[in-house]
């Protein structure tokens, strides 16, 4: 990824970022690193991070282009919050990537290829979206709530105490 210095003048259009995401996807396929997906994360007209799908080369089912860009940006900025960023993705984001964007505070996404475009190539997540739209009891994955509470301090209570304790220097 090319880093842009603060002194450079940024003239960018959404189409430029989307074209970059598509080129990343094409390069990813041609170099046989993964599936045809690329992502460009932008804030205030500047490219903050990019990512490509490396599921096949990394054997990591979560190594989607959008998640790779989110991880890179969060590490670089030292924060899990990416409010004000815009995601440009070559393809329609899957539910996992969409959820990650929500969790990170990304509220704008532009994509070039729809689930319908990807369907003939086995690159659609339409069926997964349909599955997740069902009530939990009707979904194929069994999700069980087992309220186990071992003796001692609970993790949620430890989190609350840590995050409500006064700072040492205040």
Please give the positions annotated as active site: 66
Cα 46 to chain center, whole Å?
18
Considering only CA atoms, which of 60, 121, 131 is closest in space to residue 95? 131
Using CA atoms, how far apart are residues 67 and 123, in angstroms rounded to an integer? 17
In Å, the largest CA–CA distance within the chain is: 60
- In DSSP terms, 85 is beta-bridged to 43
């Amino acid at each position: 990824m090319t880093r842009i210095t603060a002194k450079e003048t940024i003239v960018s259009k959404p189409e430029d970022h989307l074209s970059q995401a598509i080129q990343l996807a094409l390069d990813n396929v041609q170099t046989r690193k993964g599936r045809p997906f690329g992502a460009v994360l932008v804030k205030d007209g500047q490219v903050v991070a990019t990512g490509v799908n490396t599921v096949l080369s990394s054997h990591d089912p979560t190594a989607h282009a959008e998640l790779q860009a989110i991880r890179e940006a969060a590490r670089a900025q030292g924060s899990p919050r990416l409010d004000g960023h815009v995601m440009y993705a070559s393809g329609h984001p899957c539910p996992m990537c969409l959820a990650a964007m929500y969790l990170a505070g990304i509220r704008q996404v532009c994509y070039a290829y729809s689930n319908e475009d990807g369907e003939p190539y086995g690159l659609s997540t339409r069926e997964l979206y349909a599955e997740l739209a069902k009530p939990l009891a009707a979904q194929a994955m069994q999700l069980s709530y087992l309220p186990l509470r071992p003796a001692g301090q609970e993790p949620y209570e430890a989190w609350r105490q840590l995050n409500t304790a006064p700072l040492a220097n205040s």
